[in-house]
Amino acid sequence: MALQDKYAELVQTATTLGVANLAVAEQAGVLHVSGTANSTADYDALWALYNKIDPNMASGDLMMNVDIKADAGAQLKVTTDSTNLNIRSTPTTDGAIVGKAAHNEIVTLVEKTDDSWWKIKTVNGEEGYAYAQYLSPL
């Protein structure tokens, strides 16, 4: 099966979700998909679909580099299920908790440290790193 066929549903979903600058290219037996998702929910949906097509991403035949649209200064909503989001001193779960942001609180993006951790600032001035999965652009 050609990789474009294997991952056709994922590419179609990315298109339907409006992933900006969507690029799809096959190179050396690996399908490369990149672009910018409009929200954390869209980003999560693409990764969940990837896991459905290739459970545990075991094939190693897809390289997905999808970012989430948000620039420094952007307002973000805390999208935890119901709990507070820990704000840490360093971009790791080993970092000391220096603050918390409440469920549905609006925070400001300071910088995207990487795909997993973003530096944020609360309205109370608490600044540190939070897990990006729980932050969605407004």
Looking at 15, 50, 68, the residue that finishes a domain is 68
Looking at 51, 68, 85, the residue that finishes a domain is 68
Indicate if 57 and 97 belong to the same structural domain.
no
Sign of CA dihedral 68, 72, 76, 82: positive
**35-71: pLDDT as tens digits:** 988 877 788 889 899 999 999 888 899 999 888 877 7
Indicate if 82 and 133 belong to the same structural domain.
yes
CATH code for the domain in which residue 124 is found: 2.30.30.40
Q: Which residue is listed with tokens 């050396």?
A: 28
Give the pLDDT of residue 6.
94
Residue 20: beta bridge partners? 36
CATH code for the domain in which residue 24 is found: 3.30.70
Of 63, 49, 65, 40, which Cα lies nearest the Cα of 118? 40
Question: pTM of whole model > 0.75?
Answer: no
Sign of CA dihedral 78, 83, 89, 94: negative
Range of the domain at 14: 3-68
Indicate if 7 and 58 belong to the same structural domain.
yes
| Mean pLDDT calculated for residue range 80-94 | 94
